[in-house]
Structure 1
Amino acid sequence: MFLTVEHACVSYPGSGAAKAAVQDVSLVLRRGEIGVLIGPSGCGKTSLLRAVAGLERLAAGRIVIDGEVLADAAGGVHVSPEARRIGMVFQDYALFPHLSVEANVDFGIRHLPTAQRRARTLEVLDLVGLAHAAKRAPHQLSGGQQQRIALARALAPSPRLLLLDEPFSSLDVDLRERLAQELRAILKQAGTTALFVTHDQMEAFAVGELIGVMHRGRLEQWDDPYTLYHRPAARFVADFIGHGVFAPARIVAQGVPEDGHCNCIVRTPLGDLTDVAECPMPDAYPGGECEVLLRADDIVHDDAAPVKARIESKAFRGAEFLYTLRLASGEKLLAHVPSHHDHQIGEWIGIRPEVDHVVTFQRGGD
């Protein structure tokens, strides 16, 4: 593994061990991979990023990059930030307004010979699509272009790891999504290993090959985006990622388990779910009573379906509506419905479940 974080803890003076900013976090990145840390404000994602950068000392654990121990709390090791060969891109760009785009980018490589420095500067500007703007001032460019200048400046010294702390949060939503896709393409073309922090799920899915969801200083799950969405390992992850609700359910055994897998069904207000190969056995919950995660894309609008739900609210999203629905039995559901199905609030529509991955949790759990 290229980047290894082992049982990392970060505490601030007066916070106490129970309120440490980062608690027992472990993760790995292979060379050239892009990882993303996501979570609500105050969850510890930026503190962890700063610990990797060397801006915060570990209270426990260790950090290793490419075989070199950069931090080891037990051994008293703490390599200074400037000696770690790590690049950083911040939210506020931190560009020098009095310097040209080219001069901003070559600021960190002025130790190189002039010809080599200029060649490298133009190389990374070309990589981010701004070679044509080399002689211009940063204020003459858009916010998205300025962020790409900051990226080029961070890439110029060829860092072995690039850290990005909410680099697009000051930009508008449409621009953020486009830049996130561009960022991934740039990093993959450069072969750069990167760790990215954001609170925006669309950014995380657009950029990350591995995504970690943090909550109260802990890393709840570190996985590829598909697994994170469809097989959340913790209730917080299931609730934080995507749109969905937890509906009451009961796991019912159907004969003898096969190869240790559940031979059962999950009874829900929408009917029985049968694709339950990865569900726990009924005895995992008292009486088999649990809650099932039903995402908005698990609920299909079907006028012929026997189950009806009342539309409580709807949000137009261009190609689709996000409907908030209520069953006659009182349970709330969410559903993505094509926008040409423009039903009115208060109307009853037919729905059916189409759940490929049945995920259950203990009732009333955190």
Structure 2
Amino acid sequence: MFLAIEHASVSYPGQTARAAVDAVTLGLRRGEIGVLIGPSGCGKTSLLRAVAGLERLAVGRIRIDGEVLADAATGQHLSPEARRIGMVFQDYALFPHLSVEANVDFGIRHLPGAQRRQRTQEVLDLVGLAHAAKRAPHQLSGGQQQRIALARALAPNPRLLLLDEPFSSLDVDLRERLAQELRAILKQAGTTALFVTHDQMEAFAVGELIGVMNRGRLEQWDDPYALYHRPATRFVADFIGHGVFTTAQIVSQGGEQVDGHCNCIVRTPLGDLTDVAECPLPEAYPEGKCEVLLRADDIVHDDLAPVRARIESKTFRGAEFLYTLRLASGEKLMAHVPSHHDHQIGEWIGIRAEVDHVVTFDRNPA
């Protein structure tokens, strides 16, 4: 691995209940983009700061390209300026009295003049701001100012780029567009990057690998598809996407086990689910009783379906509504429904389940 974080823990003075970062292990190959996501206080920024050298490890080790940056066991701690790591922060930290060009140039003044000018031009071209080189930062939009900060961080050719919620001060539409632009810029530059955000859409737009953190621990480090369709823990399942847990029972249909799985169905209030190749055996739960994760896109509006649900609330999202539904038996569901199906709150509609990935959890989580 190009970036290897091994059993890393970070603790702060006076912190007794748990470490801010607790035994986190993850890796990135050269040129990959990783994202850390989780609720406030989960430890994602503390981990980023440890990689940057701004926090010392209490336990564990961090390496880049085989070089040890920090090792709690030996006390090794390379200073931030010696790590050749770039950082982009929430606040752009631009120099208001300098031009765009001079802001980018600032971190590479050790280079000869001609080389410095060439590199500045290269990164301004990369972020699409060559035309604004002589302008002041305040003359540009928030999104353009963030791209100046990105260009300045890329100018010294860092081995790794760290980004701490760089779009959080921007409006939602701009954040989504810039996230897509950021990924394209980083891939074009071949830059390995670790990005911190609380926004799932940003994480999916930017990350090739995404880590979900909770109370200092890394719950899952995986590609976006696996996080959404094959969450490793109940927390990941609940945190990522729109979905609910509903009661279910795994029932054996007899026959031989294949790769540790039996011929089973999962009985739910919406009917039997049969695409259960990845489900555990019924004996994994007492009497096979469990809960199944149902995403909003697993629930299909179908007027001919025998199962009916009452609309409790709805959110308009342009092409679709997000409906919150309640079955007559009391179970809550969510569903994405095309926006031309504009039903009223309180109305009963037909629904059915189309679940390609049946994911089950214990009914009584610890």
- In the alignment, what sits opposite 1:288? 288
What secondary structure, in the 3-state scheme, does the structure 2 residue paired with 1:104 have? helix
Partner AA of 2:334 in structure 1 = L
- In the alignment, what sits opposite 2:2? 2
d(CA) in 2 for partners of 1:143, 1:156 = 20
- In the alignment, what sits opposite 2:73? 74
- In the alignment, what sits opposite 2:190? 191
Contact between 2:308 and 2:350, CA under 8 Å: does it hold in 1?
Answer: yes
Aligned: 1:325 with 2:332? no
Contact between 1:323 and 1:336, CA under 8 Å: does it hold in 2?
Answer: yes
d(CA) in 2 for partners of 1:365, 1:179 = 38
The alignment's TM-score, normalised by the length of structure 2, stands at: 0.99
d(CA) in 1 for partners of 2:281, 2:24 = 30
What secondary structure, in the 3-state scheme, does the structure 2 residue paired with 1:132 have? helix
Unaligned runs of 5+ in 1: none
CA RMSD between the two structures? 0.6
Q: State the Cα distance separating 1:262 from its structure 2 match.
A: 2.8
- In the alignment, what sits opposite 1:263? 263
Matched ranges for 1:1-366 at <5 A: 1-16=1-16, 18-256=17-255, 257-365=257-365
Contact between 2:322 and 2:337, CA under 8 Å: does it hold in 1?
Answer: yes
Count of equivalent residues: 365
d(CA) in 2 for partners of 1:364, 1:175 = 41
d(CA) in 1 for partners of 2:173, 2:364 = 37
d(CA) in 2 for partners of 1:143, 1:266 = 50
What secondary structure, in the 3-state scheme, does the structure 1 residue paired with 2:350 have? strand
Report Cα offsets for 1:294-338 as digits up to 9, x if no partner: 000000000000000000110000000000000000000000000
Partner AA of 1:324 in structure 2 = T
Q: State the Cα distance separating 1:360 from its structure 2 match.
A: 0.2
d(CA) in 2 for partners of 1:72, 1:19 = 20
What secondary structure, in the 3-state scheme, does the structure 2 residue paired with 1:19 have? coil
d(CA) in 1 for partners of 2:10, 2:171 = 32
d(CA) in 1 for partners of 2:213, 2:341 = 37
What secondary structure, in the 3-state scheme, does the structure 1 residue paired with 2:102 have? helix
Report Cα offsets for 1:143-170 as digits up to 9, x if no partner: 0000000000000000000000000000
Contact between 1:262 and 1:276, CA under 8 Å: does it hold in 2?
Answer: no
d(CA) in 2 for partners of 1:90, 1:262 = 50
Report Cα offsets for 1:239-297 as digits up to 9, x if no partner: 00000000000000111322322310000000000000000100000110100000000
Q: State the Cα distance separating 1:232 from its structure 2 match.
A: 0.1
Identity %: 88
d(CA) in 2 for partners of 1:209, 1:299 = 27
Q: Higher mean Cα deviation, 194-203 or 252-261?
A: 252-261
What secondary structure, in the 3-state scheme, does the structure 2 residue paired with 1:211 have? strand
Partner AA of 1:216 in structure 2 = R
d(CA) in 1 for partners of 2:221, 2:277 = 22
d(CA) in 2 for partners of 1:240, 1:131 = 40
Contact between 1:184 and 1:207, CA under 8 Å: does it hold in 2?
Answer: yes
d(CA) in 2 for partners of 1:356, 1:24 = 33
d(CA) in 2 for partners of 1:364, 1:45 = 28
Contact between 1:262 and 1:278, CA under 8 Å: does it hold in 2?
Answer: no
What secondary structure, in the 3-state scheme, does the structure 1 residue paired with 2:244 have? strand
Partner AA of 1:68 in structure 2 = E
Partner AA of 2:184 in structure 1 = A
Report Cα offsets for 1:7-37 as digits up to 9, x if no partner: 0000000102x42100000000000000000
Q: Higher mean Cα deviation, 257-266 or 277-286?
A: 257-266
Unaligned runs of 5+ in 2: none
Q: State the Cα distance separating 1:364 from its structure 2 match.
A: 2.9
What secondary structure, in the 3-state scheme, does the structure 1 residue paired with 2:95 have? coil
What secondary structure, in the 3-state scheme, does the structure 1 residue paired with 2:166 have? coil
d(CA) in 1 for partners of 2:97, 2:260 = 67
Contact between 2:254 and 2:262, CA under 8 Å: does it hold in 1?
Answer: no
d(CA) in 2 for partners of 1:170, 1:19 = 30
